């Protein structure tokens, strides 16, 4: 019996930076997805406790984006990437909320890849699952979600350099809690807006070069189009906030860290324009509570969750998230 498990992730800061090889600071969480079963045969057959419809896929997969039921697309994406020699029969269990911005799809991809016998290092695993996600969803996503799920370390967040794929651990202080709260809005526009923002950042890079190399936002004055300039300003300033946030956590300076989260949200709302009225209101509500250091939208935006940094017990709703270990597989 094979048992492969992969965590979801929450991103503390560094949003919409991975697609330009920038910095992000997610942590793997205790909520995740487990795939159990046996290898063999020439089909992948899985049931899921999150979906009534099972999947039954051939190893010779066509276009993953067209298979049914919809959750099977992520599995099909992994099968298309890995081209495994043998199939798999088993079940999927998950305690991750689907579509909340906590990377349920990345957790599914990583767990399936390990169950199918992925043979390679952690970076290759994350990259293969990123490609699977792109095939399945058509979204030109970055590598943050899959890398966080693969590389998570208990008690730590990960400072990810999305150009080199280096993951540096940053300890989460014991006297804080990280809470994700759903806005109640599903991430309806996320797909089209995501591709649009990515294209706009690429347009900025054609003018000023790689955004990850820019430290001084004044360099962006070369960009004439005010929308392109604002999108680029978000990315450049967000990379700097990630560095400052990692340093603040290491110094135990929680209010500085919280203020950086607030600045990140403002930049996502005003410069990158991926927030919603509901997310803005939720972030304002959470931030105003006693013993909350800061809050911001987390994930792609246009709905989904906000994340808050606070003293333990300060927020009595949502998910209290613990920094957790990355994916693993056991059995033969």
Q: 87 or 299, CB closer to ligand GLA?
A: 299
Which range binds ligand GLA by CB under 6 A, 34-42, 45-53, 86-94, 138-146?
138-146
Residue window 47-66: x/- pattern of binding to ligand GLA, with contact defined by CB under 6 A: --------------------
Q: What are phi and psi of 164, to 5 degrees?
A: -95, -15
Which are the catalytic amino acids? Answer: 145
Least Å from the CB of residue 304 to ligand GLA = 9
Least Å from the CB of residue 170 to ligand GLA = 17
Q: 45 or 244, CB closer to ligand GLA?
A: 244
What stretches of the chain show up as alpha helix (H) in DSSP? Answer: 72-82, 104-115, 122-137, 144-151, 190-208, 226-251, 254-270, 277-288
Least Å from the CB of residue 251 to ligand GLA = 25
Transcribe 254-289 into DSSP letters.
HHHHHHHHHHHHHHHHHTS----HHHHHHHHHHHHS
Q: Applying CB under 6 A, does 81 fall inside the site for ligand GLA?
A: no
Q: Do 284 and 290 contact (CB within 8 A), yes or no?
A: no
Q: 142 or 326, CB closer to ligand GLA?
A: 142
Q: Which residue is nearest to ligand GLA, using beta carbons?
A: 142
Is 259 buried (19+), middle (13-18) or exposed (0-12) by CB count in 10 A? Answer: middle
Spell out where 272-332 has E strands: 292-297, 305-310, 319-321, 328-330
**Contact with ligand GLA (CB under 6 A) among 6, 7, 12, 18:** 18
Alpha carbon distance 118, 78 (integer Å)? 10
Q: 43 or 134, CB closer to ligand GLA?
A: 134
**Contact with ligand GLA (CB under 6 A) among 6, 7, 12, 16:** 16
Question: How many other C-beta atoms can be found within 10 angstroms of the C-beta atom of residue 208?
Answer: 18
Residues at the contact surface with ligand GLA, assessed by CB under 6 A: 15-16, 18-19, 141-142, 144-145, 299-300
């Amino acid at each position: 019996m094979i048992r492969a498990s992969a965590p979801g992730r929450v991103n503390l800061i560094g949003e919409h930076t991975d697609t330009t090889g920038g910095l992000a600071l997610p942590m793997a969480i205790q909520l995740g997805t487990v795939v159990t079963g046996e290898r063999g045969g020439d089909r992948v057959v899985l049931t899921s406790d999150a979906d009534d419809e099972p999947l039954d896929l051939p190893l010779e997969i066509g276009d993953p984006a067209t298979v049914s039921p919809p959750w099977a697309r992520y599995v099909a994406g992994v099968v298309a990437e890995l081209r495994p020699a043998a199939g798999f029969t088993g079940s999927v269990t998950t305690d991750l909320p689907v579509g909340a911005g906590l990377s349920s799809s990345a957790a599914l991809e990583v767990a399936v890849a390990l169950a199918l016998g992925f043979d390679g290092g952690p970076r290759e695993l994350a990259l293969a699952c990123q490609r699977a996600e792109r095939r399945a969803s058509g979204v030109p996503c970055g590598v943050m979600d899959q890398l966080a799920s693969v590389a998570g370390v208990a008690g730590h967040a990960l400072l990810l350099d999305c150009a080199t794929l280096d993951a540096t651990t940053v300890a989460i202080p014991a006297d804080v809690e990280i809470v994700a709260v759903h806005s109640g809005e599903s991430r309806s526009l996320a797909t089209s807006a995501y591709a649009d923002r990515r294209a706009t950042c690429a347009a900025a890079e054609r003018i000023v070069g790689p955004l990850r190399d820019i430290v001084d936002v004044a360099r962006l004055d070369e960009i004439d189009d005010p929308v392109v300039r604002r999108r680029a300003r978000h990315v450049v300033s967000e990379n700097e906030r990630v560095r400052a946030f990692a340093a603040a956590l290491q110094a135990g300076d929680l209010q500085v860290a919280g203020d950086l989260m607030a600045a990140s949200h403002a930049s996502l709302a005003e410069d990158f324009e991926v927030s919603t009225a509901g997310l803005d209101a939720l972030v304002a509500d959470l931030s105003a509570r006693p013993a909350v250091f800061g809050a911001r939208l987390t994930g792609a935006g246009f709905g989904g969750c906000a994340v808050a940094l606070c003293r333990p017990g300060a927020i009595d709703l949502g998910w209290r998230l613990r920094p957790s270990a990355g994916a693993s597989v056991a059995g033969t």
